[in-house]
Chain A
Amino acid sequence: KAGVTQTPRYLIKTRGQQVTLSCSPISGHRSVSWYQQTPGQGLQFLFEYFSETQRNKGNFPGRFSGRQFSNSRSEMNVSTLELGDSALYLCASSTALDYEQYFGPGTRLTVT
C-alpha cells in the first residue's frame, strides 16, 4: 500500500506571495491532518479534515487554510507569506478508528 505523498517536496517563495501544498493520503484513509515543524518547536497542529469537513483547527492565523476533496486528497494554502512561515509542512493520514497517524515526507517551504 502506497504511503502518504506530498508535493512539492521543496518550495522557495517570496514574502507576500501565497503557496498551495498538496497531500495524498494512504488509500482508504479519510482523515488528513497538517502540521508545521520549525526548529525547536516540534510539530504544531494546523488543522484536520475528515470527509471534506474541517473537524479541528490549531492556533494559526487565518492566512493558513485548507480543504479536502472527495477522494480524500487535501491541500493547504498559506496567503501573504511571512519569513516566519519558513518550515517543514507535514501531512498525516489515518482511518477514523486509528490512534496512529501516518506521515508523509513533508514539504520544505522557504520564504525569502
Chain B
Amino acid sequence: DQQVKQNSPSLSVQEGRISILNCDYTNSMFDYFLWYKKYPAEGPTFLISISSIKDKNEDGRFTVFLNKSAKHLSLHIVPSQPGDSAVYFCAASLFSSGSARQLTFGSGTQLTVLP
C-alpha cells in the first residue's frame, strides 16, 4: 500500500526549460511535505518543503505546489540546469505514536537535464 506515489520514474528536460516533478498521496493525515534530491553514492539532501496549510512555497529556482483536494504536489525547477540531474524523492510527514514524526517516501523520479 503505497501512500506516496511518484508515477514517473524518469524525466528528461532541456537545459533552461522548466522541470515539473509530480507526487500523489493517499493519506489525508499527512501535514507536511518535503522534496529531497539524491546523487549517486550520496544520501538524499533536503531541497524544499511545504506545510499542508499552504499551497505554494518558493526558494530560488525551486517551487513546490500543493493541491490538498487532489492530494497532489509538484516540484517546479526553473530554469533547469545540468547540475539538477539527480533522483528526486517526494516525502510526506505525519505524527505517529510516541510523538515521533515519520517520513513516507515515494519511489523517486530520475531527472536528466540535457545541455
A, B: real partners: yes
Segment touching B, from A13-21, A36-44, A66-74 = A36-44
Within the complex, what minimum Cβ distance (angstroms) separates A76 from chain B? 15
Within the complex, what minimum Cβ distance (angstroms) separates B74 from chain A? 17
- Residues in B neighbouring A105, C-beta threshold 8 A: 41-43
Other A-B contacts than A43-B91, A104-B43, 6 sampled, CB-CB below 8 A, are A31-B100, A33-B103, A42-B106, A45-B103, A50-B100, A99-B32
- Residues in A neighbouring B45, C-beta threshold 8 A: 103
Within the complex, what minimum Cβ distance (angstroms) separates A107 from chain B? 10
Residue of B36, B43, B96, B99 with most chain A CB atoms under a 10 A cut-off: B43
Q: State the interface size on chain A (CB cutoff 8 A).
A: 26
Given A40-B9, A42-B105, A42-B108, A100:B41 Cβ within 8 A: no
**Option from B9, B44, B46 in Cβ contact (under 8 Å) with A43:** B44
Measuring CB to CB, which residues of chain B are less than 8 angstroms from any residue of chain A? 4, 6, 9, 32, 34, 36, 41-46, 49, 89, 91, 93, 96-108
Contact B107 A41 (CB under 8 A): yes
- Residues in B neighbouring A31, C-beta threshold 8 A: 100
Contact B105 A100 (CB under 8 A): no
Contact A106 B97 (CB under 8 A): no
A42's closest neighbor in chain B, by CB? B107
Q: Which of A28-76 contact B (CB under 8 A)?
A: 31, 33, 35, 40-45, 48, 50, 53, 55-56
B1's closest neighbor in chain A, by CB? A59
Query: Chain B's interface: helix, strand, loop or mixed, by majority?
Result: strand
CA distance A45 to B3 in the complex (A): 13
Given A42-B89, A42-B108, A99-B49, A90:B44 Cβ within 8 A: yes
- Residues in B neighbouring A41, C-beta threshold 8 A: 107
A9's closest neighbor in chain B, by CB? B41
- Residues in B neighbouring A99, C-beta threshold 8 A: 32, 34, 49, 93, 101
The 22 listed contacts between A and B (C-beta, < 8 Å) are A33-B103, A35-B105, A41-B107, A42-B106, A42-B108, A43-B44, A43-B103, A44-B105, A45-B102, A48-B100, A48-B102, A55-B99, A56-B97, A56-B102, A99-B34, A99-B93, A101-B103, A103-B44, A103-B45, A105-B41, A105-B43, A106-B43
